[in-house]
Amino acid sequence: MTQFNAPQVKNMAQINGPVIWKPPSNEIVKVNFDGVTDTREKKGGVEVVIRDCTGEVLATASITMPGINDPFHAEAYLATQALMFASNMGFKRIILEGDALGIIKTLNSTGPDLSTIEVTTEEANEKKNQFHTCLTMHTQRKGNMKAHLR
């Protein structure tokens, strides 16, 4: 297994020790996303980086969205945008990885979403179903640097 020195992402199974980005298997790409919201300006944005099993960057996107003022809703919407980007780029087997634990839990849930963002999470789950494989994984915020190229 290849270990990348910087930037690094923490594998959710790792408890202590250095932050290490774990590459996906050969047939799967990893889609790291990280969102930011400005509630005062009511806008949000997402950075998406798609990498293969060697860590090579296959695609990137920076997407801005006006009219977003709730961080939880923004993260759900941003996850949906990351899924749409990966689908539009033609990837069929992905791991969606981000630091928004609440959204990752919601996307992994098999029960009904009773939150205020139900429509957005339903859209994200519909997007997930367009892939042959789509796993959603959480990583710590400080470990989500793979979503940034800078």
C-alpha span between 126 and 145 (Å, rounded): 27
| Residue 108 parent element (H or E) | helix 101-108
Number of domains forming the structure of the chain: 1
3 found inside a domain: no
Q: What is the pTM of this model?
A: 0.77
In the structure, how many helices (H) and strands (E) does the chain have?
A: 3, 5
14 found inside a domain: no
What's the domain range around 131? Answer: 29-147
102 found inside a domain: yes
CATH number for the domain harbouring residue 45: 3.30.420.10
15 found inside a domain: no
pLDDT tens-digit profile, the chain (150 residues): 333 333 333 333 444 455 567 789 889 999 998 887 777 887 878 889 999 999 899 999 988 888 877 777 778 888 999 999 999 999 999 999 988 888 899 889 888 877 777 888 889 889 999 999 999 998 865 545 555 444
113 found inside a domain: yes
